[in-house]
């Protein structure tokens, strides 16, 4: 329950005569109002807190109303007092102003002008040094800011933050990739690429190693191919004749050794008869005419 400070507020507001438009309040009046307002807010809050802590209910509303009435009266009195004080002070100033000004102008003119000169010189100095000072200051500010930002960023995982809070899909879907690609001059880009140099850099051996030759071979119909080859070369006949040709390794050795002996004898006989050793003995066919 909130009890506004100032008792009988509802009726008081109705009874209050319309205020004449007052001149704009001076600085002191505003300050006094603010101070009194702050005090009123503090007192009101304190009263409310105390009520809650003490657990009091509507039973004590009559006491509260009394306290609020008294407090409001005190505050209003304070404001009235400040206003009155201010009016008196203004009256005093208006009364004592001209002579005081005269005295001050008379006796303090020289120091005032001297101080004005000094201030002017200082201002001039400031104008001269302003560029350097501003530059130095901005440099300091930039450096400080940079370090501060670094410090902050060190503590933050920006990527994670972006991933957590930014809907990248939506951003990407909002980008017109066709337009982006349309703006690229791909032909000129490709022309800038030195394909020969790229090709030189490619390790074709490594590429060849990565080729799955077995898979290529697997795609061939080797069975059909083999059957065709076997059919064309008559493999069964070859097997029959080869097994009959050389019964065993021993037979082969005997044949080769006797052939060597034959050649030796033939060569010997040729030398005995003074003939040229028959490098290529004549053939037994009738075409060589050896039968006669």
User: Which residues are at the interface with another protein (CB under 8 A)?
Assistant: 232-234, 238, 240-246, 251-252, 254-256, 258-259, 261-263, 265-266, 269, 273, 280-288, 290-291
Beta carbon nearer to another protein, 142 or 229: 229
Give one word for 8, left, alpha or beta, with left for phi > 0 and alpha for psi -120 to 50. Answer: left
Beta carbon nearer to another protein, 148 or 233: 233
Token pair recorded at residue 41:
């807010």
Compute the distance between CA of residue 215 and CA of residue 27 in angstroms, rounded to an integer.
95
Beta carbon nearer to another protein, 212 or 291: 291
Contacts of 140 (CB under 8 A, 6+ apart): none
Contact criterion met (CB below 8 Å) for 278 and 266: yes
Least gap, CB of 245 to another protein (angstroms)? 5
Compute the distance between CA of residue 247 and CA of residue 134 in angstroms, rounded to an integer.
111
Q: What angle do CA 196, 200, 203 make, to 5 degrees?
A: 140
Beta carbon nearer to another protein, 80 or 231: 231
Provide the angle, in degrees to the nearest 10, between the axes of the packed helices 61-155 and 27-54.
Answer: 100
Least gap, CB of 226 to another protein (angstroms)? 15
Least gap, CB of 181 to another protein (angstroms)? 58
Distances (CA, A) of 191 to 74, 184, 195, 222: 91, 13, 9, 45
Contacts of 79 (CB under 8 A, 6+ apart): 32, 33, 36
Least gap, CB of 270 to another protein (angstroms)? 10
Q: How far is CA 17 from the centre of its chain?
A: 65
Least gap, CB of 223 to another protein (angstroms)? 20
Least gap, CB of 222 to another protein (angstroms)? 19
Beta carbon nearer to another protein, 99 or 292: 292
Least gap, CB of 250 to another protein (angstroms)? 10
The torsion angle over the Cα atoms of residues 20, 22, 28 and 30, rounded to 10 degrees, is 70
**Long-range contacts of residues 178-181, Cβ cutoff 8 Å, at least 24 apart:** none
Beta carbon nearer to another protein, 4 or 278: 278
Beta carbon nearer to another protein, 159 or 245: 245
């Amino acid at each position: 329950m909130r009890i506004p400070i100032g008792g009988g507020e509802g009726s008081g507001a109705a009874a209050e005569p319309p205020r004449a438009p007052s001149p704009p309040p001076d600085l002191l009046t505003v300050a006094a109002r603010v101070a009194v307002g702050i005090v009123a807010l503090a007192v009101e809050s304190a009263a409310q807190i105390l009520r809650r802590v003490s657990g009091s209910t509507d039973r004590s509303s009559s006491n509260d109303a009394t306290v609020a009435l008294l407090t409001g009266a005190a505050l209003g009195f304070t404001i009235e007092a400040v206003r009155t004080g201010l009016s008196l002070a203004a009256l005093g100033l208006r009364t004592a102003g001209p002579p005081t000004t005269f005295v001050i102008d008379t006796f303090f003119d020289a120091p005032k002008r001297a101080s004005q000169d000094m201030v002017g010189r200082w201002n001039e100095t400031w104008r001269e040094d302003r560029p350097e000072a501003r530059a130095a200051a901005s440099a300091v500010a930039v450096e400080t800011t940079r370090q501060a930002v670094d410090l902050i960023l060190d503590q933050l995982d920006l990527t994670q933050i972006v991933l957590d809070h930014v809907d990248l899909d939506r951003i990407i879907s909002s980008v017109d990739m066709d337009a982006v690609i349309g703006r690229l001059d791909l032909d000129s880009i490709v022309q800038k690429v030195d394909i020969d140099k790229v090709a030189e850099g490619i390790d074709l051996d490594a590429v060849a190693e990565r080729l799955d030759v077995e898979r290529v071979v697997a795609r061939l119909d080797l069975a059909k191919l083999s059957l065709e080859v076997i059919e064309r070369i008559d493999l069964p006949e070859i097997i029959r004749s080869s097994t009959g040709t050389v019964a065993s390794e021993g037979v082969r050795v005997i044949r080769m050794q006797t052939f060597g002996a034959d050649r030796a004898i033939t060569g010997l006989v040729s030398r005995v008869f003074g003939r040229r050793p028959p490098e290529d003995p004549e053939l037994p066919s009738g075409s060589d005419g050896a039968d006669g």
